[in-house]
Amino acid sequence: MKFNCLTIISFVLLFQITTGQEITDQDSIVSENKSDEYNQWSLELDAGINKPTRNFTSGYYTGYLDGYHLNGALRYMFNPKIGIGGNLMFGRIDPHENSRDFGTNYIGVNLQTYVNLGRILKFEDFAERLSLQFHGGLGYLNLYFDTISPFSDTDDGFSFTKGDDLGVLIAGLRPQYKLSRKFALFMDVTVNGTFRQNINYDGFSGENDALRAARFDKLQSPLYTASMGVSFYIGRKKEHADWFIEKPKRSSLDSLESRLSLLMKAKQDSDNDGVSDYLEEKNQYAEEKRISDYQNAQSIDSLPRSIKKYINKEYISNKQTLLIDKRNRFLLKDYVENIYIYFDFDNRTPARYSIPEINKLKLILTEYKQLKVKLIGYADELGSEPYNDQLTADRAEDVKRILGELGIDPDRITTKAGGEDHSVDKNSKEARHIVRRVKFRLYN
């Protein structure tokens, strides 16, 4: 029975690691987000106070400010919701001014699981820079004393060093505040429940061997710690897992098929009158090919109902600015970045069936005054590369001009020549039509 406690600790720590890995694998099936989108490692340092609540010999006690606690940790997040970390902690417990004199130090190591409650509870909906973590695990703690206890060097079946070797069961909460991409502040409150504690915190024990053995294996004597600290995020990604917001992603194949289907539908002209069925069904445009088509687009409401719901949310009365929370911003961003304006071969003016798509962007920019947009033009692989570079720049500029005529401030619009798109078979006429386009990127 000598190593029962060590066996239990080893088993539980192994279980934590295994469980954490299982959760990670499951998440990878549910979500298409990859870990290369965010940093996973962090280095953490914190300092504060401690307060043991029991296991003092009569006449010995300590106050809330009569000791200190230091902790360092290296943490790894499997995904934005769960991770694991190794901790090294130091501390000292000094007597209160009316207590008998003693001095106790401790040093310990532990392995803990970290659960990011901020992502699970969607804190980003109301506070982008605030989060909350729960952490818990098992570890080893050694108490050593200024005055050597009579029991300090007694073989109790679990002693590695002089002093008292004991196990700790740990649980804590950690509110976090994000300072920057690399740093976050946190406040940590933790309870350390000890077991196999042989000696009181003051370094003495007034119990006989029989009483000491009776309580030896029980969970006892909580040691509370409260500290402030800083997390340093390691890595080159824009975000750490603590603050990464998961969002669903479409596969590139689904997106390509969807665009091809829309394009084929938009080009159909059953009666050969020069106006596509797409336009005739909606009764939105006449046959004119001039700029009047674009001006008429101001009266077209082609936004889907789900987007209207967000556009019609409550306004901040004193600023008249739409309140966009982070999750809704992802929805809007994903919607806009799947709008495409298509062009006929060697043409700088958008195809008429793309006019409603331009109007979708116009409606969003009209409602969300704080948003800006980048227009990126593309061409197929036919023709020389310098010519196609200029062609893609002209296509983006023409869409910018149209948005300007629809009332969008040109200062909110930037353009970029994307050049040739090599993602499709250049020998396919339909595939080349898909890549002759302008796409959008929203930013604040």
Closest CA to 203 of 150, 253, 254, 239: 150
Q: State mean pLDDT over 316-326.
A: 39
Q: What is the pLDDT of residue 444?
A: 67
d(CA 11, CA 424): 53
Q: What is the pLDDT of residue 415?
A: 93
Long-range (24+ apart) CB contacts under 8 A made by 5-14 are 5/158, 5/167, 5/195, 5/196, 5/217, 6/158, 8/167, 9/138, 9/139, 9/140, 9/167, 12/137, 12/138, 13/111, 13/137, 13/138
**pLDDT above 50: residue 190:** yes
% of the chain surpassing 70 pLDDT: 66
Instruction: Please enumerate in sequence order all residues whose Cβ is within 8 A of that of 367, keeping only pairs 6 or more positions apart, or say none.
Output: 311, 322
Where along the chain do its domains lie? Answer: 4-234, 252-443
Closest CA to 414 of 438, 433, 386: 438
Q: What is the pLDDT of residue 213?
A: 46
Poorest-confidence range of 77-86, 202-211, 275-284, 371-380?
275-284
Highest mean predicted confidence (pLDDT) among 70-74, 199-203, 284-288, 382-386: 70-74
d(CA 291, CA 297): 10
**pLDDT above 90: residue 40:** yes
- Residue 322: other Cβ atoms inside 10 A: 18
Greater pLDDT, 297 or 341: 341
Q: What is the pLDDT of residue 92?
A: 93
- Which tens digits make up the pLDDT trace of 388-400? 999 999 999 999 9
Q: What is the pLDDT of residue 83?
A: 96
Q: What is the pLDDT of residue 263?
A: 63
Q: What is the pLDDT of residue 329?
A: 64
Greater pLDDT, 411 or 202: 411
**pLDDT above 80: residue 381:** yes
**pLDDT band at residue 12 using 50, 70 and 90 as cut-offs:** very low
Q: Any idea which architecture 4-234 has in CATH?
A: Beta Barrel (2.40)
d(CA 382, CA 426): 8
- Mean per-residue pLDDT over the chain, rounded: 75
**pLDDT above 50: residue 126:** yes
**pLDDT above 70: residue 271:** no
Greater pLDDT, 252 or 122: 122
> Tokens 């106790």 label which residue?
104
Tokens of 87: 């901790």
**pLDDT above 90: residue 46:** yes
Q: What is the pLDDT of residue 315?
A: 30
Q: State mean pLDDT over 336-344.
A: 85
Closest CA to 371 of 440, 299, 300, 297: 440
Chain centre distance of CA 30: 16
| Same fold? 4-234, 252-443 | no
Q: What is the pLDDT of residue 151?
A: 47
Q: What is the pLDDT of residue 234?
A: 95
Q: What is the pLDDT of residue 256?
A: 62
**pLDDT above 60: residue 306:** no
Poorest-confidence range of 20-34, 216-230, 423-437?
20-34
Q: State mean pLDDT over 63-81.
A: 93
d(CA 186, CA 129): 12
Do the Cβ atoms of 332 and 363 come closer than 8 Å?
A: no
Q: Vertex 50, ends 75 and 180: CA angle to 5°? A: 40
Q: Which CATH superfamily is domain 252-443 in?
A: OmpA-like domain (3.30.1330.60)
Q: What is the pLDDT of residue 292?
A: 44
**pLDDT above 90: residue 376:** yes
**pLDDT above 50: residue 93:** yes
Q: Vertex 416, ends 353 and 303: CA angle to 5°? A: 35
d(CA 225, CA 431): 63
**pLDDT above 80: residue 98:** yes
Q: What is the pLDDT of residue 322?
A: 40
d(CA 84, CA 96): 36
Poorest-confidence range of 182-196, 243-257, 298-312, 394-408?
298-312
Poorest-confidence range of 86-90, 91-95, 114-118, 346-350?
346-350
Q: State mean pLDDT over 399-410.
A: 90
β partners of residue 219: 195
Greater pLDDT, 185 or 201: 185
**pLDDT band at residue 379 using 50, 70 and 90 as cut-offs:** very high
d(CA 384, CA 387): 5
Q: State mean pLDDT over 408-423.
A: 90
- Which tens digits make up the pLDDT trace of 195-240? 878 788 887 765 544 455 455 556 777 899 999 999 999 998 889 9
**pLDDT band at residue 13 using 50, 70 and 90 as cut-offs:** very low
